[in-house]
Structure 1
C-alpha cells in the first residue's frame, strides 16, 4: 500500500484547514470512486470529500456502516492516490472506534473527516471527537474534523423547532470545545436557522449540506457566515439521474445526449 509522506500529509491537512477559515466558503462536491474524484478535481476543486452513502451504494450496501470498513477504506485510498488534493473522508459514526478508524484513514492519506454523533449521549459524542483529534495529533497533522450532529435530521416532526436548534448549537459548541474546527449540521435549510446556528458557533464554523431544490446558493450561505457546504449523496444522484434519463431516451428510440464528453 502506498503511503503519503508525512510532510505532504501535514501540508495537505493545513491547506484543508485554511480553506475552512478563508473568507470564501469552501464548496465540496462529494465523490465516491476514482473517476468521480478525477472529474470533480478537473473542475478546479480545491479539496475533495467522500460520501459514505455513495461509496456504500457503489458496492451494493445500504448506508450506515453496513459496508465493511476495509472495503470502505480501500476505495478512499484509491481516491486519495488518484488526485493531488486534500481529501476528507466520511467516517460515518466511527465504526465502533472513532480514534482507530481515523488513524487508519490518516494512514492512507486522508486529512479530514466527518463524524456523526447519532445523538448519542453528549459525553460519548465528545469523547469520540477527542479520540479523532488525538489520532491527528499523533500523526503530526491538523486533522480537519467536521463534527456532525444529527440534532436536526433526527428530530421528531412535532419537536419544537427552537429546542431542536438549541440542541444543535449546544452539541456543536461542545464539539468545538473538544477540538473540532468545524461543525456539520445536516437538515439546516431555512435562512433564519442557518443564520442563528452560524452566529452561535462563530464565523466559518458551520457546515451544511446542499439539498437539490431546497438549499440556498453557496454565495448566500457564505454571506450568512457558513464555512463549508457539501453535497453528500446528491452528486452521485445527479450522475445517476443523468444516466437513467439518457438510457430511457435511448431505449425509447432516441440517441445519447450530444453534449456527452469523454471524461474517462
Structure 2
C-alpha cells in the first residue's frame, strides 16, 4: 500500500464529484475492462460486485468472501492511474473499521455499501442500523486519514412491489445516510422513473447515484433530473455480452 498515493486518489475522487454533474464512473470487473475504461478517458472507475463475481465464476450477493474480493480487486486498482471505488455489498459481515482497512490496503478510495444483508437471509437493514454502519465507515476512514468516498445504497425500491408507495420512506432512509456521513446516496431500481428520480434528487443535499445502461440511457436526461453520479452496475457487462454474441453469431458454422 502506498498511503500518500491512496490519499491523493481519494481527494481526487472527491474533487471529481464536485467538477462533474454528473460524474460517470464506468463499472468494471477486471484489469482489461478497467484499462479500457480509463483509456477511453474516464477519470474514475468503480468495480461492481455483480460483474466481478461473474468474471470469477462466483455468485453475487456476497458469494465471495471479503478476502477473496480484496485479492481480486487489488490488481485491477493497481492497473490504472485513476481513483477506483469498490462495491462492497453489505460489508461481508465485517466491522466498519475492518472494511475500511481492507479497502485502503488494496488502494481503493471509495466504496458502495447496501442495506440488503445477504449473510442474514437477505433482510433489509433498518434505517437506523444502516445509518449506524455508514457512520462507522465514516469514522474509520477519518481515523485512517483517507477521505474514502462512501456511496450509501438502499434497496428499498428494489424490494417494493410499488416503488412510489415507499418514496417517503426511501427519502428518509437516504437522508439518514447523508447525516451519517455518506458522500453520495444510491437508490437502486428507479433509473427509468423520471418522477421518482426527481423527487429523490430534489430532497438530498449530496449527489444521488443512478444506475444507467450505456446504450439505452441518455446522459443529458440524467443531468436534467439532477443525478450527480452514474454507475452501470452489471449493465455494461451485459451490454458487452449482447454485442459479443452478435459479433460471434456470424461465425457459427
Normalised to the residue count of structure 2, the TM-score between the two structures is: 0.91
- Aligned residue number for residue 239 of structure 2: 238
Which structure would you say has the larger Rg?
1
1:129 to 115, 128, 134: 134
Match of 1:175 among 164, 174, 177: 177
Residue equivalent to 1:110: 108
Asked if the contact 2:152/2:186 (under 8 Å) is kept, the reply is yes
In structure 2, C-alpha distance between the alignment counterparts of 1:168 and 1:20, rounded to whole Å: 23
Greater shift, 237-246 or 92-101, is seen at 237-246
Q: How far apart, in 2, do the equivalents of 1:9 and 1:23 lie? A: 21
After TM superposition, give the deviation of residue 132 of structure 1 in Å: 1.4
Instruction: Tell me how far 1:152 sits from its aligned partner.
Output: 0.7
Deviates more, 1:173-182 or 1:72-81: 72-81
> How many angstroms apart in 1 are the aligned matches of 2:228 and 2:85?
15
The whole-number CA distance in structure 2 between the counterparts of 1:98 and 1:51 is 21
Which deviates further from its counterpart, 106-115 or 131-140? 131-140
CA distance in 1, matches of 2:233, 2:37: 14
> Which structure shows the bigger proportion of residues in helix conformation?
2
Count, aligned residues: 244
Q: Is the 8 A contact 2:214 2:232 kept in 1?
A: no
Classify 1:35/1:77 alpha carbon distance in 2 versus 1 (closer, same or farther; 3 Å): same
Deviation of residue 244 (structure 1)? 2.1
**Cα deviation 1:104-145 (Å, max 9, x = unaligned):** 011111000100012212221112101211221122111100
In structure 2, the residue matched to 1:196 is 199
Contact in 2 for aligned 1:30/1:50 (Cα 8 Å): yes
Q: 1: distance between equivalents of 2:215 and 2:26?
A: 16
* Counterpart-to-counterpart distance in 2, 1:168 and 1:249: 46
Inter-CA distance 41–226: structure 2 relative to 1 (3 Å threshold): same
Change (3 A) 1:163 1:221: same
Q: Pick from 28, 31, 34 the counterpart of residue 31 of structure 2.
A: 34
Q: Where does structure 2 lack aligned partners over 5 or more consecutive residues? A: 117-123
Query: For 1:153, what is the secondary structure of its paired residue?
Result: helix
TM superposition shift of 1:225: 1.7
Cα distance between partner residues in 2 of 1:102 and 1:235? 27
1:91 touches 1:102 (CA, 8 Å); kept in 2? no
Give me the whole-angstrom Cα distance separating, in 2, the residues matched to 1:74 and 1:238.
26
Deviation at 1:98, TM superposition (A): 4.7
Partner-residue secondary structure (3-state), 1:177: helix
Q: Which runs of 4+ in 1 moved over 6 A?
A: none
Matched residue SS, 1:173: helix
The answer as to whether partners of 1:175 and 1:183 remain within 8 angstroms in 2 is yes
Superposed CA offset, 1:166-212 (max 9, x none)? 1111110000000011101111121111111000013x521110146
Q: Which residue of 2 aligns with 1:19?
A: 16
| Conservation of the 8 A alpha-carbon contact between 1:207 and 1:226 | yes
* CA pair 192-201 structure 1, distance change in 2 beyond 3 A: same
